[in-house]
Chains A and B, each alone.
Chain A
């Protein structure tokens, strides 16, 4: 029997070794100096998966608010945009008004509205969009999920007129935003795609996306959605966690390996080939900050993951990954008048402790400790 026990141990060891993944070690980089504000045409803030913390516990939202205020004040009216990249309300979106969890759900959404609608932001007409993520859909499908999105859209309209859920509940998009004629942003609801079996609606959506990319001309284009194009996080299947085998087997629909997800990517790749491929594809979903160079046929030139708004998950090395960090933060795209686009990654120090239980001093101290941890010119 000892030999059989040894055999079992050997098997487990071999399986572990086969599954091992290499953690990503962020390289040093040459910081890009911020452009003069007179050269800036538009700024886009990218914040994902921010719906797990109320305002008083979130250094990210405090730092974001200060940043949005500063840029809103510095630029002409309507030049700043805040994109919340989905999973705006954990764990299952905004439940029905009158239900017990509604107050907590509302507080999570209100915190993000607060961060993006300070006095300068309101005065300068800073635009704020919330994309739907799988948790906003209630982690489910069909009418139940769409009802959760309606709850969120209604709540946003009450919290701050001018903020909106985009695409609208139950629609795939794209919603097309032109940023001061300097850049074009297209917003997609990728969870709609994963749960929908409506092939005609899918094709129509892809056709509109392709057309919007073509009509953007030489302007930089940004496609924004909740689910990433590429990732070194758990949803990419490269991180050893309890669901590793299921992820590798494509058994979880929220993972890039799942056949429906691969069909989504194939559809987007076709739209990118038929239109002009986007400069940047931005998303959340994995709870980290990642910069990937994904250049290739049918791929965006750059893929960004900005999903560290309220949760953190590890990142392992993956093809094209230039920089990554599992630390609280967000990203900022600066579009210059000459068409140049620069990315700035703003994050807390690696060792920043979580600020639980509304420890105001901890939140303030961590928010002040944020810095630009990575920057690069995308175009």
Chain B
């Protein structure tokens, strides 16, 4: 959760105040919402693995916060710098895929059942997505020292 918020702040900081690009901004809303959904699932799954369960799949819970946060962030990033959005999305997809595979393997090893494998995959996919989006958003372009420093702070979290 904290990583998601920091990622949002970092990517917001990277968006230059240039002229807005409507198409990438709209794409950013969609991509950010999907990414936020996966991050939310990662949070819910992590909570369940420590015995804290949702009694109902209610979208209006704090765990859903990454959806609007990442949607807004990606919209702003896309509106300011479409290339940066595509880089973040591409690397996010790579990170998600890699994280899901590694997470599934780790979940299988840790819990030894089908649910554990899926849980590891969901958590790993969410973490990989965030990491990949950060890397993609920070590489290339004109990242300023402040945002790079923020990203560095986020990593140990």
Contact = CB atoms under 8 A, between A and B. Distances in A.
Given A139-B55, A245-B122, A5 B115 contact: no
Interface residues of A, number: 28
A265 interface: no
B86 A4 contact: yes
Contacts of B47: 251
Given A1-B83, A245-B41, A252 B57 contact: yes
Nearest to B82: A1
B25 interface: no
B94 interface: yes
B48 interface: yes
Contact of B115 (A7, A8, A12, A248): A248
A23 interface: no
A41 to B, nearest CB: 40
Do most interface residues of chain B lie in helix, strand or loop, or is the interface mixed? helix
Interface string B46-57: 011100011111
Given A140-B55, A245-B41, A4 B89 contact: yes
A246 B115 contact: no
A45 B148 CA distance: 66
A251 B94 CA distance: 25
Contact of B54 (A195, A242, A251): A251
Given A1-B87, A249-B115, A254 B45 contact: no
A7 B89 CA distance: 10
B122 to A, nearest CB: 5
A58 interface: no
A11 interface: yes
A141 B57 CA distance: 15
A258 B48 contact: yes
Contacts of A118: none
A1 B90 contact: yes
Contact of A245 (B87, B90, B118, B136): B118
A230 to B, nearest CB: 15
Contact of A249 (B45, B56, B136): B45
A242 B37 CA distance: 10
16 contacts: A4-B90, A5-B86, A8-B90, A12-B93, A134-B55, A139-B56, A141-B55, A242-B57, A245-B45, A246-B122, A248-B115, A249-B115, A250-B115, A251-B49, A253-B53, A258-B115
Given A8-B92, A12-B93, 18 more contacts: A1-B83, A4-B86, A4-B87, A4-B91, A5-B86, A5-B90, A134-B56, A245-B118, A248-B118, A249-B115, A249-B118, A250-B115, A250-B116, A251-B47, A251-B122, A253-B48, A254-B56, A258-B48
Interface of A: 1, 3-5, 7-8, 11-12, 134, 139-141, 195, 242-243, 245-246, 248-254, 257-260
